[in-house]
Structure 1
């Protein structure tokens, strides 16, 4: 009985390593062994083609070649058609004498084979290949499971694109969104308009960091895909059950196109392919000449890509040049439009009508809803999920791709331990935590990789993996198994891809100040693997302590910690704890912040950094008011407030910082005030205080207000970002 139970548990553990998790996995007795007598039978060529990766894998691991035969027999892989199964669905019946695969078509057969490949044990001491006996029934939650790669900011080879398709298809992602054009480069050959690649594919230099202060690489940067190369990628993707959807940006993110054909801009140029990051104000002018140009471009795009959808961008289109253009203002009046937002809607509807005439439909970022969403358009919701749910309720198809969970250019861990990335923190756990409400018209989910800071193909893999695996699981699996189980499956599954340059940042240690018989520092492992060890800087790891519970904090302290899994060690994580009168105290807000990763961030004794937005509390379009209650009455002399300024991300210095004090929490008097001088980056605002005894403190950071008249984002709200409050 004990032996049977052990076998069942072993099989169950093996089943838990599937990724994404199948709908139903039932263990059976025994295993199937591949040997020199094993054959395969397929009812049609579709099933035979789908089986090819498994046959190759078995030959690679064991040296066994599995021949095709014309009849069913024992010791065989059998591929049969079952038209009752939905598209992409499959069943697998693995017994000791055969493997039976059923699906209604190629996509189902293909995914059954990917599951079989995952069932092959990674840790084997011999060349013998065995698969545990299982019965699996599986089908996707969503029809659309996507990955977006931006090749405009940085360019990647055809061979690498194909390698990427190999990996994402193994995890049942079925859409490759190819971001081919932007301000910084035009990457697709258009034969009618050769200047798009002759001029638009090359920028004269490349920004090396977040801002101009980082400097430039002073040499031309470029590259593009020929039409033959694009056809090659599209054909290869189809063999992996992946649809390739091209994105041709309009009306914004068009500086590279304008550099090639300046007559398409409202000012007439001259323009250069942009060398900065962010949003550029020069966009396509909605003239008949522009529409003729775009229709000519899209004629060739439609010929290259058989996908039902063409992505036309539609995001981040500043209206400055349209507001200043006599032609645009006349067009608004002539068409009976209210404003420039409706002019953008007019623009998008013109393009949508053209593509519908070619038998295609458009996808656009959620800005295409401004001024009215075109009929039949699919909305890609990136500014949160609210736009997506609104579009779905209005009857439009929606793909969820919010920055909060699916922007994979964000940091995966502490900035000092990661390569240059975008400002926010987006660890694997947060990607997996995305909670998508069941709603009609939601097609699926997509992870996006913007590449301003991703210069190499190795770094593409580092940023995508393993986080894109969470997107795959969310798109495919109908039920979550919990983050701990998911992270364990990621760890085991990546063993099957030893040459994949994936990040190990999900294997980490987090620090949190807790109140537990005084202030203590808790060390929290990110995954249920191994043990945590910690030490002081300068000490050897051989003398490190094993973490058994929260560590008492006494004064200023620095601690280093790592997660140990046998001989394998994670990166080393560090924290510096700097206490003050308010460290560890709870606090309340006058108005709820828009961004807050965890409670207590303003008084945890740890400073935020510009490279990690999630170390900050963010207030959008309003003042920040924070209320603290001290342990007892104290005479205070100064307060230091951590602030962040990054105007490219709409984060501005508070216009004014006021500090108030009270003895009863009801009546407050001013203790001090200062008007900070704005400086980009993470900094501090010092407020000298009247030396008065108080029990309660109120900190007020005044919002700088909306962007001014004439700015590209005129009238839109700005942010206040705050971090550690220190009080003496």
Structure 2
């Protein structure tokens, strides 16, 4: 039986008949495991694991010994409990063994039994045994373990039978846009393995960098792995370089490291587009033969591979070395966002297209991709491409990775092709996790923890026959706006927990509130393991009843506290001190008189800090200030990105909400009673965006001074001008600078439209905050 299985059904029947159940030592406590197992049955009593307890594995079984060592390592690091791994041995506290008669036959599945005599894990394959060991590690590290020696760990008696819902449970890490150090990639592999995720898709090449050593083509890393960061005015410094690459020895090490943890590394070599770093290294492979620089512009750039034999010789040479490094059955060849302009403009390409009898450039791309696919197939490999490769007719050898929604996956499955779901924005982890001002850079499509958890990778449009083509799903970590490992960590955790449960656990077992109850234990593990997980889902949000204007008018404010997940206990202070578990518990909105401050944090039922304290400043100046994220887009516009001050910063950077097509913001319903002026904290950013055909949508505003102005209009962007503030020359001002002006005396609420008139050929100007001033 699927779902809860026969044993669960019998237990439910016993309950219905009034048969007493076997008491569990932790009845009512959330099971400290993510993802949730397919079947969990309570047992009688409990078992205690003490320091020095033995984990026994069969003699000579290196895989079982490795799984046991990983279990012991996690328990030691999280709980401070030292366990001993031994081969053989009677009376061990924990045993791990591969058995052909293990009661879970599914691939990657395992059976785990806790009794008063010990903990036993069996599986029919090595992967299942490893995952069983990871579950034991979670059972031994419930919420509250401090990392110091906590003494013995007691585990309630239970029986677990577990197996995955999907075979492809993945994460994509983009190392092309911002290179990620090998140690940080391994750290991601560690957590993927602990969460039973099994595919690490490495996006190794793009316009902005080539990250893998290819011995036959050394210029790919000598030239293509490095770029000169763009500037926000003034000449670039050619001695300043951004980038990096993995040697083949380093990549072999990573592949082996991941394989030991049952994670397959799937390489992506992007083609025919996203190839500017290739053309910077080997211009003869391109359509025009021109040598561009390695791209600094995010987005879509025009450079394509040529379609002649020289290009395929190059591609096959690269793939030969890629296949030698990566034993993965699947090789990803990209195929996305390939502008066809160069192919359309090239007489040689057009002649080639006619000779092949192809009707258009989309069909040419299908031919191109399928030729690569056939080369991979001849070497025992399978090709994956993004869903754009469907546009000219699906290549016969292709597996489709669908990112533009799910249509590509549905269409391909109906044509009997395997598919992997990876739709934007839901599974794009470069999307922000909340609308909070303290979120780092990323796409402004909000993808919270609950959004990931609610996602189901099986399209409802597919019947049972077609559903067999759905291999699974993956979340994508694009790094245009993730400059450092910290940014990647913030984006991934704890959303990886929601992803893992959605891809492993049976659909009918998933429960959002149950997941939240189990998550504090995992957050504690992150803390002890040094993983700086985002607390966006639990961080306190402050809402002023009636808005800031009502508080200004009344001279008092009613402030409600909440968080995105609706989980945990909020505790607060109003004296400027940091909240603790002893601070007042928030139960009803607070009535305060400005000036005042509120500091609030969120705790679990056991007192664990779930979200760091957040501060709210209830002063007149703060109530008149709108941060970048609190400003609205101008009519017919959209703030699509939150971008950093510098695109290749090596640390955390100030961030700004921007519309790439119009440097225009609205301060909505500004209360102007008593206001005499305005102060804007302005920023000058690099305009490094490849907008391709959308470049014509960029709006230019006429300037009256050489470097442009910030124009403030009243009552909308077509309203009367309230102030004009000249911008300083880029060479004479820092990247962030204040702009101030007087405003005409008026009363009431008015929308203020703030527009930069600087040339769209120069830097991109942004707004950090706007403050209305009342000084005489």
Aligned to 1:132: 156
* Alpha-carbon contact 1:379-1:396 (below 8 Å) kept: yes
RCO greater where, 1 or 2, for CA within 8 Å and sep 6 or more? Answer: 2
Q: Secondary structure at the match of 2:338?
A: coil
Distance 1:548 1:681, change over 3 A: farther
* Alpha-carbon contact 2:441-2:655 (below 8 Å) kept: no
Q: Secondary structure at the match of 1:67?
A: strand
Find the aligned partners of 1:103 and 1:448 in 2 and give their Cα distance: 31
1:20 to 35, 38, 49: 35
* Alpha-carbon contact 2:299-2:690 (below 8 Å) kept: yes
Give the drift of 1:356.
Answer: 0.8
Give the drift of 1:222.
Answer: 2.8
Give TM-score scaled by structure 1 length.
0.74
Give the drift of 1:82.
Answer: 3.0
Give the drift of 1:14.
Answer: 4.3
1:526 to 559, 564, 580: 564
1:494 to 495, 516, 523: 523
Q: Secondary structure at the match of 2:273?
A: coil
2:229 to 206, 215, 228: 206
2:261 to 240, 244, 249: 240
1:62 to 59, 74, 81: 81
Find the aligned partners of 1:306 and 1:190 in 2 and give their Cα distance: 16
Find the aligned partners of 1:651 and 1:484 in 2 and give their Cα distance: 45
1:376 to 397, 405, 409: 397
Find the aligned partners of 2:59 and 2:442 in 1 and give their Cα distance: 49
1:184 corresponds to 2:212: no
* Alpha-carbon contact 1:39-1:69 (below 8 Å) kept: no
Distance 1:450 1:108, change over 3 A: same
Give the drift of 1:433.
Answer: 2.3
* Alpha-carbon contact 2:422-2:473 (below 8 Å) kept: yes
Aligned to 2:127: 107
Root-mean-square deviation (CA, aligned residues, Å) is 4.5
Give the drift of 1:490.
Answer: 2.6
Distance 1:332 1:161, change over 3 A: same
Q: Secondary structure at the match of 1:475?
A: helix
1:10 to 16, 26, 32: 26
Find the aligned partners of 1:611 and 1:681 in 2 and give their Cα distance: 16
Superposition pairs of residues 220-369 of structure 1, within 5 angstroms: 220-369=241-390
Find the aligned partners of 2:251 and 2:608 in 1 and give their Cα distance: 45
Find the aligned partners of 1:680 and 1:130 in 2 and give their Cα distance: 67
Find the aligned partners of 1:681 and 1:386 in 2 and give their Cα distance: 43
Bigger Cα displacement from structure 2, 500-509 vs 99-108: 500-509
Give the drift of 1:313.
Answer: 0.5
Bigger Cα displacement from structure 2, 127-136 vs 271-280: 127-136
1:52 corresponds to 2:69: yes
Q: Secondary structure at the match of 1:13?
A: coil
Deviation digits for residues 422-454 of structure 1, max 9, x if unmatched? 343222222222233354111111111111222
Deviation digits for residues 312-361 of structure 1, max 9, x if unmatched? 01011111111111112112222222211111111111111111111111
Total equivalences in the alignment: 618
Deviation digits for residues 79-99 of structure 1, max 9, x if unmatched? 234366111111101112122
Deviation digits for residues 547-597 of structure 1, max 9, x if unmatched? 54568999x999967443258453527698899xxxxxxxxxxx9x9x9xx
1:570 corresponds to 2:608: no
1:32 corresponds to 2:60: no
Distance 1:363 1:223, change over 3 A: same
Distance 1:465 1:547, change over 3 A: same
* Alpha-carbon contact 2:281-2:291 (below 8 Å) kept: no
Deviation digits for residues 270-318 of structure 1, max 9, x if unmatched? 2111122111111112121111110111111111111110000101111
Distance 1:675 1:332, change over 3 A: same
1:503 corresponds to 2:534: yes
Distance 1:155 1:41, change over 3 A: closer
Superposition pairs of residues 138-177 of structure 1, within 5 angstroms: 138-177=162-201
* Alpha-carbon contact 1:121-1:131 (below 8 Å) kept: no
Give the drift of 1:481.
Answer: 3.6
Aligned to 1:710: none
Q: Secondary structure at the match of 1:29?
A: strand
Distance 1:201 1:329, change over 3 A: same
Find the aligned partners of 2:382 and 2:191 in 1 and give their Cα distance: 28
1:193 to 206, 217, 236: 217
Q: Secondary structure at the match of 2:171?
A: strand
Find the aligned partners of 2:710 and 2:402 in 1 and give their Cα distance: 29
Find the aligned partners of 1:331 and 1:688 in 2 and give their Cα distance: 56
Find the aligned partners of 2:135 and 2:264 in 1 and give their Cα distance: 20
Find the aligned partners of 2:709 and 2:299 in 1 and give their Cα distance: 16
Distance 1:470 1:681, change over 3 A: farther
Aligned to 1:630: none
Distance 1:376 1:521, change over 3 A: farther
Give the drift of 1:157.
Answer: 2.6
Distance 1:652 1:53, change over 3 A: same
Superposition pairs of residues 68-79 of structure 1, within 5 angstroms: 68-69=87-88, 73=91, 75-79=93-97
Aligned to 1:582: none
Aligned to 2:430: 409
Structure 2's unaligned 5+ residue stretches are 1-19, 552-557, 626-635, 641-653, 661-686, 721-776
1:117 corresponds to 2:159: no
Q: Secondary structure at the match of 1:10?
A: coil
* Alpha-carbon contact 1:363-1:378 (below 8 Å) kept: yes
Distance 1:5 1:315, change over 3 A: same
Distance 1:306 1:272, change over 3 A: same
Give TM-score scaled by structure 2 length.
0.70
Find the aligned partners of 2:436 and 2:546 in 1 and give their Cα distance: 27
Give the drift of 1:56.
Answer: 4.0
Deviation digits for residues 436-474 of structure 1, max 9, x if unmatched? 335411111111111122222232212211112221111
Find the aligned partners of 2:141 and 2:472 in 1 and give their Cα distance: 31
Aligned to 1:484: 513
1:395 corresponds to 2:416: yes
* Alpha-carbon contact 1:415-1:611 (below 8 Å) kept: no
Q: Secondary structure at the match of 1:113?
A: helix
Aligned to 1:450: 478
Q: Secondary structure at the match of 2:26?
A: helix
Distance 1:510 1:681, change over 3 A: farther
Deviation digits for residues 158-198 of structure 1, max 9, x if unmatched? 23322221121101110111111111111111111111112
* Alpha-carbon contact 1:407-1:447 (below 8 Å) kept: yes
Distance 1:574 1:310, change over 3 A: farther
* Alpha-carbon contact 2:172-2:203 (below 8 Å) kept: yes
Distance 1:460 1:688, change over 3 A: closer
